[in-house]
């Protein structure tokens, strides 16, 4: 039978305007595997985001041209795929390729990312032309010498071990060093986060001011309208969009916190709009997608945008272009119960607002000149700011404006 096959080369795609290269973190297919059009072939990590590279065609993966952990530029050849009527008859090279171990076969973790869905394989895929190599076990003399282990004779009775041999084995077990942990390479996104956090602290003089806000009225508003809001918008009404709305409104009056400083600290740019960054926790690390023109959005618009960005970060579908260009950042540290923290500025911004957990506490209140004790919903607000251009009084005035808006500035009609 005549086969009509052709070869298609898979190239490293463009992952954003400012992204020139990426790291191959994991191959999802091996040589000889059948792939469908659009099916993920491999995972790639950049300084901004991790993503999957899909197959451009249906066929058989013939050659893998780059190994895991290789850093490759946009346009680099990654693999070849055999397509056409004879694709199913393409040579199976799986015997000549080092197989990627399953998670329970791992000898050491690698750098394939920290998502539970990613296999922490430490082996690197070889090209189809390389011979297969056995995994050496230093405790197994048969594999070191190249001999197969001796198989017991089923017809013969097991031979009892001598007392000397038994004692030697016990001594060997006792002398084996205990396992005190697992050494793993940090994924590229975590290394990038680490470098940027240290760079931020080394770049600017950072200080944090903390206020406490009474959000009891917002809590009541949420309870009264959360079902209607969910039915109308399709997203849950949390506290976060209220904090975002209050912060964005305050930034219009306190522009020094919606600004960026030049590297030589000779100029400051006061931004006319607010591109709001929101810190999102994910299996692959912390990312900060940006909501453009946040000043134009209502509570519902902010709730939709926040939910959309967070969902796509955790699904791995956020694009690099959505992770830059922010002018101010919010981090919801209270989502895991923290009362407050001292967040690190996302350079070159001049401020970042941390939102603590909303907790019910017994607090004193004065009504008609009478002191009473009430249960109120309280939250801490912590603003970290660049003390090179922002003074403590500036930060306090900004938090005062946010606090006042949260404590009395929202009504039911604000939810639409």
Pick the closest to residue 360 from 236, 210, 215, 211 (CA basis): 215
Catalytic residue among 11, 225, 271, 387: 387
Q: What strands, in cross-sheet order, belong to the sheet with 34-35?
A: 5-11, 77-84, 59-64, 34-35
Is residue 387 annotated as part of the catalytic site, yes or no?
yes
- Judge residue 118's burial from the number of C-beta atoms within 10 Å of its C-beta, 0-12 exposed, 13-18 middle, 19 or more buried: buried
Pick the closest to residue 325 from 309, 302, 348 (CA basis): 348
Quote the CA–CA distance of 85 and 1 in Å, as a whole number.
11
| Token reading at 348 | 């070159």
Helices 299-315 and 240-251, axial angle in degrees (round to 10): 110
Answer yes or no: are the C-beta atoms of 279 and 291 closer than 8 Å: no
* Cα dihedral value 226, 231, 233, 235, nearest 10: 60
Is residue 11 annotated as part of the catalytic site, yes or no?
no
Helices 392-408 and 216-233, axial angle in degrees (round to 10): 70
Quote the CA–CA distance of 94 and 101 in Å, as a whole number.
13
Catalytic residue among 77, 137, 311, 391: 391
**Collapsing DSSP states into helix, strand and coil, what is residue 341?**
coil
| Token reading at 222 | 């949420």
Q: What strands, in cross-sheet order, belong to the sheet with 40-45?
A: 50-54, 40-45, 21-27, 71-73
Residues in a beta bridge with 365? 372
Catalytic residues: 387, 391
């Amino acid at each position: 039978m005549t086969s009509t096959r052709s070869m298609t080369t898979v190239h490293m795609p463009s992952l954003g305007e400012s992204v020139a290269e990426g790291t191959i973190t994991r191959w999802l297919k091996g040589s000889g595997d059948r792939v469908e059009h659009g099916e993920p072939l491999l995972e790639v990590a950049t300084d901004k985001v991790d993503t999957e590279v899909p197959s451009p065609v249906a066929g058989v993966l013939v050659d893998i041209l780059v190994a895991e952990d290789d850093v490759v530029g946009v346009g680099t050849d990654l693999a070849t795929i055999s397509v056409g009527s004879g694709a199913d008859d393409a040579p199976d090279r799986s015997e000549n390729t080092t197989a990627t171990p399953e998670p329970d076969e791992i000898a050491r973790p690698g750098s394939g990312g920290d998502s539970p869905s990613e296999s922490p394989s430490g082996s690197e895929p070889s090209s189809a032309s390389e011979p297969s190599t056995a995994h050496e076990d230093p405790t197994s003399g048969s594999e070191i010498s190249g001999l197969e282990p001796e198989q017991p004779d089923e017809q013969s009775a097991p031979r009892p071990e001598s007392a000397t041999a038994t004692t030697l084995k016990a001594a060997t077990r006792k002398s084996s060093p205990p396992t005190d942990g697992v050494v793993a390479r940090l994924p590229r996104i975590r290394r990038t986060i680490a470098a940027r956090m240290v760079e931020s602290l080394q770049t600017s003089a950072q200080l944090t001011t903390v206020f406490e806000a009474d959000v009891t009225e917002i809590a009541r508003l949420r309870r009264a309208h959360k079902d209607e809001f969910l039915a109308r918008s399709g997203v849950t009404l949390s506290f976060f969009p209220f904090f975002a709305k209050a912060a964005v409104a305050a930034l219009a009056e306190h522009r020094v916190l919606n600004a960026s400083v030049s590297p030589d600290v000779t100029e400051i740019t006061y931004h006319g709009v607010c591109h709001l960054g929101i810190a999102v926790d994910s299996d692959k690390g912390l990312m900060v997608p940006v909501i453009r023109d946040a000043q134009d959005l209502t509570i519902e618009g902010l709730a939709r945008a926040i939910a959309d960005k967070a969902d796509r970060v955790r699904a791995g579908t956020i694009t690099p272009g959505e992770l830059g260009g922010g002018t101010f950042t919010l981090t919801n540290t209270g989502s895991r119960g923290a009362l407050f923290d001292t967040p690190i500025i996302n350079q070159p911004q001049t401020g970042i607002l941390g939102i603590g957990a909303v907790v019910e506490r017994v607090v004193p209140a004065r009504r008609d000149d009478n002191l009473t004790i009430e249960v109120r919903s309280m939250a801490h607000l912590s603003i970290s700011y660049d003390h090179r251009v922002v003074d403590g009084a500036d930060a306090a005035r900004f938090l005062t404006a946010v606090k006042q808006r949260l404590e009395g500035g929202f009504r039911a009609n604000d939810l639409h």
